[in-house]
Amino acid sequence: MHFFKKKTKNMELPTAEKLRPDDSFKHIAFIMDGNGRWATEQGMPREYGHSAGAKTMKKVCTYCCDIGFKACTVYAFSTENWKRPEKEVNAIIKILENYMDEIIRDYKSYHNHFKFIGDLSVLPPELLEKVRKVESLNLEYDQVFNIAFNYGGRSELANAFNRLASKGVTHASEDDISAEMYTAHCGDPDMIVRTGGDMRISNFLLWQAAYAELYFTDKFWPDLTEDDVDEIIRVFYSRKRRYGGI
């Protein structure tokens, strides 16, 4: 059951007593869209929007882990994002590298561990080493922050089928396929949030999204706040999940 903790004497509920995720809402995922438009609106280059987006990602996802989500997943770079201008792609890779350095330095201030999902074989070896180092930190914490990088849902599924075939599985069950997904460690997202106004999934967690609640907002990703997360939680608990039943 989800719950409001006991009210204090004063009527305004302080942050610590807002609606919090429980066992029916373990995993939240974000399609972080709108960085480019956010920057353009301010007369700044798109890369500036990604830097702002990275700050929002740290703030929002740290908040999600701290308030009790078992898993928080972000779509940081898709298999299609390579089509972007080289300058923009390089800026995102640089942001990733700086972020890895920061976690390696400050990991004790996080109360979650980190996992990358996607095909990381394309990363420069030195960066890949930092990513693997980050994944080895904070493993004593249950909460996981998943970063989808060079991720594509169709490619994830194709890889899963190929792996099953190479194991000699000719009749895969749904559980067999779920076990081959990058998210096998944390289960499917209960809600997928997309910022930036578009209403599509864009090849994100295709298999895992089967029963996810969807939440769309016009806000650009850099503008998302902890209060928005509280509102998203409220909306989640206002939905009726029937999983095909009545």
Catalytic residues: 33, 81
With CA atoms as reference, report the closest residue to 29 among 70, 81, 78, 82.
Answer: 70
Give me 91's structure tokens. 């800026």
Strand order in the sheet with 113-117: 113-117, 144-151, 71-78, 27-31, 191-194, 213-216
Sketch the per residue contact string, 162 through 201, with ligand FPP: x for CB under 6 A, - otherwise. ----------------------------------x-----
Should residue 148 be labelled a site residue for ligand FPP when binding is judged by CB under 6 A?
no
Contact, 118 vs 146, CB < 8 A?
Answer: no
Q: Which stretch binds ligand FPP (CB under 6 A): 32-40, 120-128, 168-176, 204-212?
A: 32-40
Which of positions 49-78 make contact with ligand FPP (CB under 6 A)? Answer: 50, 53-54, 57, 76-77
Give me 236's structure tokens. 């989640």
Among 27, 29, 30, 36, binds ligand FPP (CB under 6 A): 36
Nearer to ligand FPP, 2 or 59 (CB): 59
Beta partners for residue 213, in sequence order:
191
Nearer to ligand FPP, 48 or 221 (CB): 221
Supply the Cα-derived Rg of the chain in whole angstroms: 19
Should residue 118 be labelled a site residue for ligand FPP when binding is judged by CB under 6 A?
no
DSSP 3-state assignment of 137? coil
Should residue 95 be labelled a site residue for ligand FPP when binding is judged by CB under 6 A?
yes
Should residue 99 be labelled a site residue for ligand FPP when binding is judged by CB under 6 A?
yes
Measured in degrees and rounded to the nearest 5, phi and psi for residue 140 equal -75, -15
Among 35, 73, 112, 146, binds ligand FPP (CB under 6 A): 35
Among 33, 47, 190, 213, binds ligand FPP (CB under 6 A): 33
Nearer to ligand FPP, 100 or 191 (CB): 100
Nearer to ligand FPP, 54 or 144 (CB): 54
State the DSSP string of 185-244.
TT---SEEEE-SS----TTSSTTTTTT-EEEE-SS-GGG--HHHHHHHHHHHHHS---TT
Interaction site with ligand FPP (CB under 6 A): 32-37, 50, 53-54, 57, 76-77, 81, 92, 95-96, 99, 147, 196, 221
